[in-house]
Chains A and B, each alone.
Chain A
Amino acid sequence: MEPSLETSIGQIHLKRPVMLASGILGISLDVFNRLYRSGAGAVVTKSLSTEPWEGYPNPTIFSVKGGGWINAVGLSNPGAPNFAKMIEPNKDVPIIVSLVGSIPGDFEMMVKQFENCKVTAYELNLSCPHVAKVGLEVGDDPELVKKIVTAVKNTTNVPVIAKVGLGTTHYLETVGTAIESGIDAITAINTVRAMAIDTETQRPILSNKFGGLSGTPIKPIALRCVYEISSKYDIPIIGCGGISTWEDAIEFFLAGASGIQLGSAIGDNWIQVFDEINDGIIQYMKRKEFSTIKEMVGLAKKS
């Protein structure tokens, strides 16, 4: 029998395990449809705020000479109300709505905007490393994490994911707080705070000076975090960080992730990367005689 790519991340059921990560390509329903046709199991939207945000001036993204990307787009987005209207006609694509805000009320207001939309899950961005008052600054405050997760859980029956990253508070503590507050799953990790300086003009390249490092350089770090979370807690995990090949995907499953997200790989290899990874996973499963993704999840912890 042909192995199945279907996966369940808690109550989130997907036909394919590779998702588009937040912040990438996410402002048009037409593009979401195209990505879904290209093999994405779900798409995570750009992180939405209560109001439209323009983001930072360029340069906002460039690649690092040795590999990987640094970005500080500044969470530019059309705002949750505009965005909700745009995805209302969606029927086919599993859409995970990413939200960013400062206080529980921001998140409640935004979740209510999506009441008439087909939303597969919400992902709370508790880890953006380059915008003040949101993201990591929220994720680093356990009391605030508790209040926000509780507020969102009380507002919707749709599964809620917390996206954690490397801040000043140890991410394992943030994960623990989110679990106590009723979170359904964890995405780990976000980009890692970084910068680059141009030696000719002697200036930081990004207009915001600091940005988030993504791509292959952070994959071993992300993998370690997924392994640590799955070793300590019984919570469904989505692996994210530098995944660009099927081997990367398998590593994350073996470390304890039931699904994965990718972004930078699209900059490197464009959107056929979804099907390439899906095919690679299938071939691996045939060779190793797995019939479901679930059989692989966390296997690296067996000894």
Chain B
Amino acid sequence: MQRNHNHPTIVTIEKVIDETPTVRTLVFSDEIMSDVLPGQFAMVWIPGINELPMSVMISKDSGKAAFTVRKHGPASTGLFNIKKGEQIGIRGPYGNSFDLKEGRLLLVGGGTGLVPMMRLLTFVKPTDDVTVLIGAKTKDEVFFEKLANELLEKNPHKVIVSTDDGSYGEKGFVTDLVEKLVNETKFDGIYTCGPEVMMYKTVQSAHSRGLFVQASLERMMKCGVGICGSCCVGEDLVCRDGTVFDGEHLSKNKEFGYFHRNKAGILENY
């Protein structure tokens, strides 16, 4: 029978890579997930624990894909603790993807929000001039810097890391760097994924200067297919209308950057 993408397909974890003390990448074989577009996600079932929306991470090997997870709550810790040889369920891929512009590109990622940024890097043209900003709280939490440089080997590029405490790279918030860069350079496309307040400031910096900017949003999700409504932001459903939205659209959304919904669906401030 043809694969039903709304029903969990079981895959076996083949490799576990420690990225930082709290972040791991889990590699598995799956042709469909290996080909997803940047911004698309899967619902990942950790049997006996929970099911989580996850951006699909690239793998160097063909036919393979991965998830990069930070241990945080019980669900993500459950996924973080999965070992080589253990099984998880995946359904999807769901969601839309970034519109890739050509020329000068700026990618802004924070934490595991770097995952769709890394996938996006596999789609850039060799002629594109690409700047990648990686934001982290502290040195221990920096990852994918080497990978970003490897992926951009043939491009004119810069990978800049900023840490909130200055223990590595530039000191300060990554959004201050964004503000500085967009003042200096007229980027053709700006892309961001990470904590929502970071994305909100990035979108504001770019959109207020008339620059093309897109953000990949994250919300609490139950169904992933537009039934449960948990992931709504204003009138948009992140699972079905996103995850990627234009800065133009987001600038009119009253909830983006300010509110998210809890498990009961009540709006809470960031």
How far apart are B226's CB and chain A's nearest CB, in angstroms? 6
Give the segment of A95-103, A169-177, A201-209 that binds chain B.
A201-209
Give the segment of A74-82, A104-112, A282-290 that binds chain B.
A74-82
Residues of A in contact (CB 8 Å), total 43
Of B43, B91, B224, B264, the residue contacting A78 (CB under 8 A) is B264
How far apart are B241's CB and chain A's nearest CB, in angstroms? 9
The CA of A64 and the CA of B91, in the complex, are separated in Å by 12
Contact residues in A for B48 (Cβ distance below 8 Å): 203
Establish whether residues A264 and B7, one from each chain, have CB atoms under 8 Å apart when the complex forms. Answer: no
* A31-48 CB contacts (< 8 Å) to partner B: 31, 33-34, 46
Dominant secondary structure of chain B at its interface with chain A: loop
In the complex, A28 has a CB within 8 A of chain B: yes
In the complex, A221 has a CB within 8 A of chain B: no
How far apart are A218's CB and chain B's nearest CB, in angstroms? 15
Establish whether residues B235 and A55, one from each chain, have CB atoms under 8 Å apart when the complex forms. Answer: no
Contact residues in B for A82 (Cβ distance below 8 Å): 266
Give the segment of A19-27, A157-165, A246-254, A295-303 that binds chain B.
A19-27
Establish whether residues A33 and B47, one from each chain, have CB atoms under 8 Å apart when the complex forms. Answer: no
* A245-295 CB contacts (< 8 Å) to partner B: 263-264, 266-267, 270-271
In the complex, B207 has a CB within 8 A of chain A: no
In the complex, A233 has a CB within 8 A of chain B: no
The CA of A82 and the CA of B268, in the complex, are separated in Å by 12
In the complex, B249 has a CB within 8 A of chain A: no
The CA of A34 and the CA of B87, in the complex, are separated in Å by 39
Q: A2-28 toward B: CB 8 Å interface, digit per residue (1/0)? A: 000000000000000000000011111
Known: A63-B7, A201-B87. A58 touches B51 (CB 8 A): yes
Establish whether residues B225 and A28, one from each chain, have CB atoms under 8 Å apart when the complex forms. Answer: no
Q: A54-66 toward B: CB 8 Å interface, digit per residue (1/0)? A: 1101111111110
24 A-B residue pairs with CB within 8 Å: A24-B227, A25-B226, A25-B237, A26-B229, A27-B230, A27-B232, A28-B229, A58-B43, A58-B51, A59-B8, A59-B50, A59-B51, A59-B89, A60-B51, A60-B223, A76-B228, A76-B264, A198-B8, A201-B47, A203-B47, A205-B45, A207-B50, A207-B51, A266-B226
**Interface residue ranges, A against B (CB under 8 Å):** 24-28, 30-31, 33-34, 46, 52-55, 57-65, 69, 71, 73, 76-79, 82, 198, 200-201, 203, 205, 207, 263-264, 266-267, 270-271
